[in-house]
Structure 1
Amino acid sequence: MISTNAAEQAVHALFGELARAWDLGDADAYGACFTAGATYTTFVGTVYRGRDDLAAGHRALFGSVLKGTRMFNEIVDIRFYGDDTAVVAGRGDVARRRPAKLTKVQTYTLVREAGEWRIASFHNTRRKPLMEALSFRFVPASAPRR
């Protein structure tokens, strides 16, 4: 069994690689952070299937609307399910400068392949703080406990 501390450090290192690849606009390095059969769901609902598909899509995006942007992310929670699977909850955003608040909520499913953590599934949702606050006001019991 791997130590949780070492596994957490490795997961943080993967997120560092992911951000570096984005910041460089390197679609191949970005794609290398994912498994060959990964699924990738954007906040607008686009679903990429497989590393090659998501790398090709990001190559086009890095050459146009996302050119010069940087990735900002925070890991909120890491849950390990055995030695080779983890679910990561986070917040993130992409912009030219770090935004005051990260506007997206993200879920990553990670697997270890040949000792290296890779992202098998990614889902990105844009957070709507006003709608969230209204729902908690009208249905207080729906608010997360922490």
Structure 2
Amino acid sequence: MDTNRASDESAILRVEADYDRCWANGDIDGLLACLTEDAVLVSPRGDVAEGHAEIRRELGDVLGGEALRSTHHIEVVRIRFVTDDVAVLDGIATVDRPGDGDLPRLSIEHRFTDVFVRRGASWLVAHIRAAAPRD
């Protein structure tokens, strides 16, 4: 792997780590900072949100509701560069909450695909497609 490709992969993994951190903190603005303005989010339930305003509502509903005080962790399966400015990341996401009296335990695992695009010196997610949770 050439140095530039390794650097690009590291930058993409940092975005994914930022997403996980922002999820755990309930930081919607931080989550949106990982995405392009015109990003598309397809939830594990098949709900589609396009652009920051719709994604803000979707993630706000999730993080303020069923996934309140949860963590999000990704496991990268593969990263494939389609062009120098487009990469596809396939992974497995796990949303967990231990349960703490007023909130029940939560553990959801699902596969997902993120399409990354290079914008200037940064990599951002342009499309998130999450598969239905595993049983």
Q: Same fold (TM over 0.5)?
A: yes
Which residue of 1 is the match for residue 56 of structure 2?
Answer: 55
Which 5+ residue runs of structure 1 have no aligned equivalent? 130-146
2:113 and 2:8 map into 1 onto residues whose CA distance is 18
**Deviation of the 1:52 alpha carbon:** 2.2
Deviation per CA, 1:69-96, whole angstroms, max 9, x where unpaired? 0001101000012221100000012111
Identity %: 25
RMSD over aligned Cα, in angstroms?
A: 2.1
Which is bigger in relative contact order (C-alpha 8 A, separation at least 6)? 2
Deviation per CA, 1:29-62, whole angstroms, max 9, x where unpaired? 1111110001100110100001221122212322
The letter of the residue matching 2:88 is: V
SS in structure 2 opposite 1:66?
A: coil
The letter of the residue matching 1:122 is: I
Which residue of 1 is the match for residue 104 of structure 2?
Answer: none
**Deviation of the 1:114 alpha carbon:** 1.7
SS in structure 2 opposite 1:21?
A: helix
Which 5+ residue runs of structure 2 have no aligned equivalent? 99-106
Which residue of 2 is the match for residue 107 of structure 1?
Answer: 113
Q: How does 1:124-135 map to 2 (within 5 A)?
A: 124-126=130-132, 128=134
* 1:71–1:94 CA contact under 8 A, matched in 2: yes
**Deviation of the 1:108 alpha carbon:** 0.7
Which residue of 2 is the match for residue 116 of structure 1?
Answer: 122
**Deviation of the 1:10 alpha carbon:** 0.5
Q: How does 1:1-146 map to 2 (within 5 A)?
A: 3-97=4-98, 103-126=109-132, 128=134
* 1:109–1:122 CA contact under 8 A, matched in 2: yes
Deviation per CA, 1:106-145, whole angstroms, max 9, x where unpaired? 111100112111100010012557xxxxxxxxxxxxxxxx
* 1:25–1:68 CA contact under 8 A, matched in 2: yes
2:62 and 2:90 map into 1 onto residues whose CA distance is 24
The structure carrying a bigger strand percent of its residues is: 2
* 1:31–1:52 CA contact under 8 A, matched in 2: no
